[in-house]
Every structure is written in C-alpha cells, then in structure tokens.
C-alpha cells in the first residue's frame, strides 16, 4: 500500500528542513525556558527545538491573536480620519501538539462568526502549522483524552509523528505539500512506516484514557446541575485572581479595546489587548457596578466558558485538555479536581442515573 | 495651543524617578514639544512663581514643612500627579512607621534628635487630593507618558487593579515560585510590564497591593511553599507600610 498523503523525514534531516524553512520565512518552535518550562520562539535550526515538551507557557494563540494588536489609526487634526490596520506576518509554527491544534480550531470558530474578525482571519491565513504528535502524557495535569484532543483531527498543514529515527508526516493541505516541495528533505513512506505508525497509535490508545470519570456527552448536563454548587465557593477562597488560567488558555480570547492618542493628542491608534474574566475590573461597568465581584463567580464563569456555553454556541468544548490552567495556578486550582468534585457532588442528580 | 506649564517637585525620596524622566532619551524631546517645564530642580535652575497646569510630584510626606509645602503646591496646580512609590504609596520611607517616632529619631540623629521633628510617613493622597498616580520604584517610563497624555486630555487614568502575574505570564517568564523564590507579583498591581521579573529579579510590591487581594488564599500558597507569614509581611512592608495609616491620626512628634 502506498499513501501519497504521507512522507517520511529522517531525524538527521530535521535540521536541514528547519534551516531551509527558516530561510523562506519566520519559523517558531518549542524551546526550553528552564525549570521544565517551554515557549514557542523563533528558531533558525533544529538545535534549540524540543521534540518532547510539556505544553508551552503560552499557547500558540499568541501568534494568532497577539497580546496587543492595532486595529485602527486615526487623526482628529482635520475632522476625523480613520484607517483600518491589519497586522500580520508570514510564518510557520513547528511542533504544535494536538491540544493546541484543537485550541486554534476553537479560535477559528469564534472569529469566523459574523461579523467576521478580519484581523484574526487575515493573520491566520499567513500562518502555516506543523503538528507534532504526543505518544505519552506530558504530565498529570493533561486531560486531552477527556475532550478527544489527544489524536490528530485536522487543523494542520503537516503533521509529524515521531517514530524513533524518523518522522512520518501527514500532508493535509497544499501549503503543507509546498513546504515539502520547497525543502526537499522528505522521502516517500513505505509499508513498514505505516506498520510503525499503526503500532505507535495502538500503544497510544492504551496509554490515553479519559482522565475524568464522566462521559463527555454528560458534561453539559453536569454543568447545568452545578451552577449553585458549593465547589465555586471553595475556589473563591483559593483563587488569587492573577489571571494565569485564562491567559495561558489556548481558547480564551477576551480582549479590551483602547483608543490611545500620541503626544500631539491628535493622532492615535485603536488597539486591542488581552483581557481576563478573572481580573477584578473585567466585569466592572460605568458607575462602579461589578457584575462578577466575587472570585467564585469569576472562576465559575471560566469553567462554564469551557464546558457549557460553547457547547450551546459552537457544539464543542472549549477545553483542549492541555492542562495549562492547572499547571500555572499558584493556588492549586486544578481542572481535573474541579470536574471530579462537581461529579462527586452531583452524584445523586439526574445525569448519572442511567449509566 | 499654548504648552501647559509643568513643574516637577520632590519630597522624601531618592530622586530616582526624576532621574528616570531625565533619562527618557529621545522621547523626552517629543514630550518637551507638548509641555513647558517651568520648574524641575534636578535638571534646571529656574523657578516659577505662578500657577502650574500640572505638578508632577515625587516623594512622601514626612514632616510639618512638607505638609505645608505640598498643600501650597496643590493650591497652585490645576492637576497633581503623584509619581513613584514614595508619592503614591509611601514607599520605603513608610518603614519608619513600624517604629516609635522618638526611638527612630534617636537612632538617626543621636542626642540632638529633638531638633528634628518628624511625622508618620504619608503618601501624597493621604495629605492632599491627587489626580493621577504613576506607581513604581522607580516609575515605568511608558506609564508616565500614558498618564501625562491622560492629564493633558483631561481624562482619567486607571492604575491596573490586577496582579503583576498578568503581564509576567504574557512575557512568558518562568514563575518565580517554580524556581523556589518568593515573589509579590500575585498581590501587586500591574502596569510595569513585569519589568523586574523580565530581568531576573522578583517583584517587590513597589506598585502597591491590588484593591481586593485574596489574603487567605495567598497565605495558603505561602504555607504550601513553607514561607513564614512574618517574613512576607516584613517584605511587603518594605514598600507598603503606609497602607495601614488611618486618616487624620495625630502623629506629630
């Protein structure tokens, strides 16, 4: 059997591939930041790239929706003159895990809803994505299997699976084929390579089991039953409202919009910057009213924005199981623990009766 | 448009924030295009006898003379901007408030201590009305520019009321607690772009504590890391002792 959608890249040719790609455009890949932390940074060879890494501090969303992004330039010198701005850069992301691919797909869904977000959509078209498969859990915080984000399901141009001394590479788009064409580092995939891939996936299926004791289809019902749960009060006591959980989340996309003039007070720009529902001023409105003054209400909101509201709006969870929120929480608020506590508390309630 | 008249003043401080302004570099030229600096002791000899459109004041209030002087500056100024930790939250001068004022005077001035009257250290807003705050030790220059623009437009500037962790995460710094080091980012007001942590240092809390810190939660985090509360309080008080002051307290000595 020969599948033209697959090629292989010998490990010794990875450096050639990355170097050649980086001469064509900016390439970003996971690199070590010390203390077991990683980040996507620009690379020009494979030297610094970590092929086995736990999710980076910031997800790749930082490239898709920059933390600060100009939307408009304006001048009030002579009436009001405005000029829309779209900032983008052609680049390739290498080594994106399936959880982060799922995250990007969530953002794509959000920003494609009308009125479409052309700043996001234009930039997205300029970013090529090369996925990288995990064969094992990164750490105890991951819950990718619960939301079925541990297996590749699109959202990439090329997808690498590490099979020892070579990668088997799935070509998913024309952009992916063009990368292979341009760098000339790849070889065709043979029968034995597919056998290797099959046994890799078999082993993987044995390793990854749903991390939380609930079937995904019951999760929305669980949340319907738990709005007044005492678990949220417990989170209130713990949460420091530092906003880490949302800032590192691959699917959180809230932003604030700010108009700022230059020193001449005439010319300025409108920009957006990331905001977080966990921060005290987020739900504060004119007059000083704060709709989510309690940390409990803010934490609860975050969980509902992952497991309930997007199910109604986009028919999918906005949790990719990457585990970043749990990993980055100083106060030890862990997603799996919260879900398990909710499940335990609502044990007697409807959703589980007919299990 | 006539350039607004701006005066820079200082009280008990190290004058480091004024130095930050003097060190602005090229951007200072742009700033001087839009404001008319009429008094700024650190960089010029001229004095101004009239009123100020904007007074930018560094330092905390530590004695009777300072109280009189800041009140006079306030009367002469349309807008008053407090800048630097000393002016906005009392800063390191506030450490004095942890001691008996007589003891502390004896410690500093020896047997002649009686000639040196003093008061509990206060931030500017604990004495006069302050319109804008530029927190930090020293100030973060881009924030001063932001505040200056807000003042010139007559619109408010809100000092971020969330933790330094927000900026720090966006800068992808490895968390200090991961490195086994105590850091005040989780309870300190953001706005400095996590300047210190970006450069390998911890956050010392120089921008003041967020308005609604989760004290219980923070204590739990510290306990988890085996950090004694007293140790932390001492460190927090390095910049933030003045937050405990009750308004109107009679404390002349």
Grade residue B248 by pLDDT with cuts at 50, 70 and 90. Answer: very low
- List, edge to edge, every strand of the sheet that includes B132-134: B36-40, B5-10, B52-58, B77-83, B132-134
Q: What CA–CA distance (Å, rounded) separates A66 from A63?
A: 6
What are the structural domain ranges in chain A? 6-207, 216-352
- Determine the average pLDDT of the residues in B85-90: 97
Grade residue B249 by pLDDT with cuts at 50, 70 and 90. Answer: very low
DSSP A217: G
What's the CATH fold of domain B5-153? Rossmann fold (3.40.50)
Token pair of A239 as six digits:
């949460």
CB B41 within 8 A of CB B8: yes
Given this model, what pLDDT does residue A311 score?
97
pLDDT tens sequence across B33-43: 999 999 999 99
Chain A residue closest to B185 (CA)? A242
Cross-chain Cβ contact B149/A263 below 8 Å: yes
Q: What CA–CA distance (Å, rounded) separates B130 from B132?
A: 6
CB B37 within 8 A of CB B93: no
CA distances to B146, B168, B212 from B89, rounded to whole Å, are 19, 22, 16
B225 touches A: beta carbon within 8 Å: no
Given this model, what pLDDT does residue B102 score?
94
Given this model, what pLDDT does residue A56 score?
98
Token pair of B128 as six digits:
């006069």
B211 touches A: beta carbon within 8 Å: yes
Given this model, what pLDDT does residue A110 score?
97
What are the structural domain ranges in chain B? 5-153, 164-243
pLDDT tens sequence across B96-126: 999 999 999 999 999 999 999 999 999 999 9
Q: What CA–CA distance (Å, rounded) separates A331 from A318?
A: 22
B175 touches A: beta carbon within 8 Å: yes
Q: What CA–CA distance (Å, rounded) separates A303 from A325?
A: 11
Taking only residues 247 to 276 of chain A, the set having a beta carbon closer than 8 angstroms to any beta carbon of chain B reads 247-248, 260-265, 274, 276
pLDDT in tens, chain A (355 residues): 456 799 999 999 999 999 999 999 999 999 999 999 999 999 999 999 999 999 999 999 999 999 999 999 999 999 999 999 999 999 999 999 999 999 999 999 999 999 999 999 999 999 999 999 999 999 999 999 999 999 999 999 999 999 999 999 999 999 999 999 999 999 999 999 999 999 999 999 999 999 998 999 999 999 999 999 999 999 999 999 999 999 999 999 999 999 999 999 999 999 999 999 999 999 999 998 999 999 999 999 999 999 999 999 999 999 999 999 999 999 999 999 999 999 998 876 655 555 5
Residue of higher predicted confidence among B253 and A187: A187
Peptide linkage before B59 cis (omega within 30 of 0): no
CB A225 within 8 A of CB A346: yes
Taking only residues 127 to 166 of chain B, the set having a beta carbon closer than 8 angstroms to any beta carbon of chain A reads 145-146, 148-149, 152-153, 158, 160-163, 165-166
B205 touches A: beta carbon within 8 Å: no
Cross-chain Cβ contact B34/A244 below 8 Å: no
Contacts of B34 in chain A (CB under 8 A): 263-265
Q: Write out the DSSP string of B165-208.
A: HHHHHHTTPPPTTTTT----GGGBB--STTHHHHTTPPP--TT-
CA–CA min distance A280, chain B (Å): 6
Peptide linkage before A60 cis (omega within 30 of 0): no
pLDDT tens sequence across B203-231: 999 999 999 999 899 999 999 889 998 88
Look at residue B247 and tell me whether its pLDDT is greater than 60: no
pLDDT tens sequence across B157-181: 999 999 999 999 999 999 999 898 9
Nearest alpha-carbon partner for B177 in B216, B134, B232, B138? B232
Q: What CA–CA distance (Å, rounded) separates B17 from B10?
A: 9
> A261-273 burial string, b = 16+ CB within 10 Å, else e?
bebeeeebbbbbe
A37 touches B: beta carbon within 8 Å: yes
Chain B residue closest to A58 (CA)? B172
Q: What CA–CA distance (Å, rounded) separates A322 from A130?
A: 18
Look at residue B243 and tell me whether its pLDDT is greater than 90: no
Q: What CA–CA distance (Å, rounded) separates B106 from B111?
A: 6
CB B253 within 8 A of CB B117: yes
Q: Write out the DSSP string of A157-197.
A: SEEEEE-SSEEEEEE-SHHHHHHHHHH---EE--HHHHHHH
Contacts of A330 in chain B (CB under 8 A): 165, 175, 177, 186, 221
Given this model, what pLDDT does residue B253 score?
62
Given this model, what pLDDT does residue A317 score?
97
């Amino acid at each position: 059997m020969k599948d033209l959608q697959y090629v292989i890249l010998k490990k010794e040719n990875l450096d050639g591939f990355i170097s050649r790609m980086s001469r064509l455009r900016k390439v970003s890949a996971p690199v070590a930041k010390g203390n077991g932390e990683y980040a996507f940074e620009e690379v020009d060879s494979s030297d610094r790239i970590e092929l086995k890494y736990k999710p980076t501090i910031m997800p790749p969303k930082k490239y898709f929706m920059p933390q600060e992004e100009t939307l408009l330039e304006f001048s009030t010198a002579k009436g009001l003159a405005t000029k829309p701005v779209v900032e983008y850069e052609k680049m390739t992301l290498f080594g994106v895990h399936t959880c982060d691919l799922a995250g990007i797909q969530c953002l794509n869904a959000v920003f494609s809803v009308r009125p479409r977000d052309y700043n996001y959509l234009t930039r997205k078209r300029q970013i090529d994505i090369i996925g990288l498969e995990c064969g094992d859990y990164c750490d105890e915080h991951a819950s990718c299997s619960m939301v079925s984000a541990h297996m590749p399901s699109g959202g990439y141009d090329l997808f690498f699976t590490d099979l020892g001394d070579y990668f088997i590479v799935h070509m998913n788009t024309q952009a992916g084929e063009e990368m292979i064409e341009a760098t000339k580092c790849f070889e065709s995939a043979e029968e034995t390579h597919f056998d290797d891939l099959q046994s890799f996936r078999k082993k993987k299926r044995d390793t990854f089991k749903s991390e939380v004791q609930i079937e995904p289809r019951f999760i929305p019902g669980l949340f319907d039953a738990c709005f007044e749960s005492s678990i949220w009060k417990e989170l209130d006591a713990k949460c420091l409202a530092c906003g880490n959980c949302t800032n590192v989340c691959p699917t959180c996309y809230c932003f604030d919009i700010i108009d700022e003039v230059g020193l001449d007070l005439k010319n300025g720009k409108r920009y957006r910057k990331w905001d977080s529902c966990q921060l005290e001023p987020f739900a504060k409105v004119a007059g000083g009213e704060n709709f989510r003054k309690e940390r409990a209400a803010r934490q609860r909101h975050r969980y509902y924005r992952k497991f309930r509201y997007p199910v109604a709006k986009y028919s999918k969870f906005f949790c990719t199981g990457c585990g970043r929120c749990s990993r980055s929480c100083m106060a030890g608020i862990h997603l799996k623990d919260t879900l398990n506590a909710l499940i335990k508390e609502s044990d007697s309630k409807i959703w589980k009766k007919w299990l | 448009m006539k350039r607004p008249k701006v005066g820079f003043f200082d009280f008990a401080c190290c004058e480091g924030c004024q130095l930050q302004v003097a060190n602005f570099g090229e951007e200072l030229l742009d700033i001087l295009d839009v404001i008319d600096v009429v008094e700024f002791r650190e960089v010029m000899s001229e004095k101004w006898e009239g009123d100020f459109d904007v007074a930018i004041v560094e330092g905390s209030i530590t004695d009777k003379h300072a109280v009189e002087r800041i009140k006079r500056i306030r009367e002469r100024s349309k807008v008053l901007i407090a800048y630097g930790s000393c002016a906005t939250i009392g800063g390191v001068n506030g450490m004095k408030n942890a001691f008996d004022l007589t003891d502390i005077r004896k410690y500093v001035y020896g047997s002649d201590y009686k000639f040196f009257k003093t008061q509990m250290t206060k931030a500017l807003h604990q004495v006069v009305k302050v319109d804008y705050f530029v927190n930090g030790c020293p100030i973060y220059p881009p924030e001063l520019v932001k505040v200056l623009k807000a003042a010139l437009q007559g619109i408010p500037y809100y000092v971020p009321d969330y933790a330094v962790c927000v900026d720090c995460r966006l800068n992808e710094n490895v968390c200090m607690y991961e490195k086994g080091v105590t850091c005040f980012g989780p309870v300190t007001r953001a706005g400095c772009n996590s300047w210190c942590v970006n450069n390998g240092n911890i956050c010392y809390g120089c921008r003041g504590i967020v308005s609604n810190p989760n004290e219980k939660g923070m204590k739990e985090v510290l306990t988890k890391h085996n950090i004694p509360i007293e140790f932390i309080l001492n460190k927090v008080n390095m910049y933030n002792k003045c937050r405990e002051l009750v308004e109107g307290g009679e404390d002349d000595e």
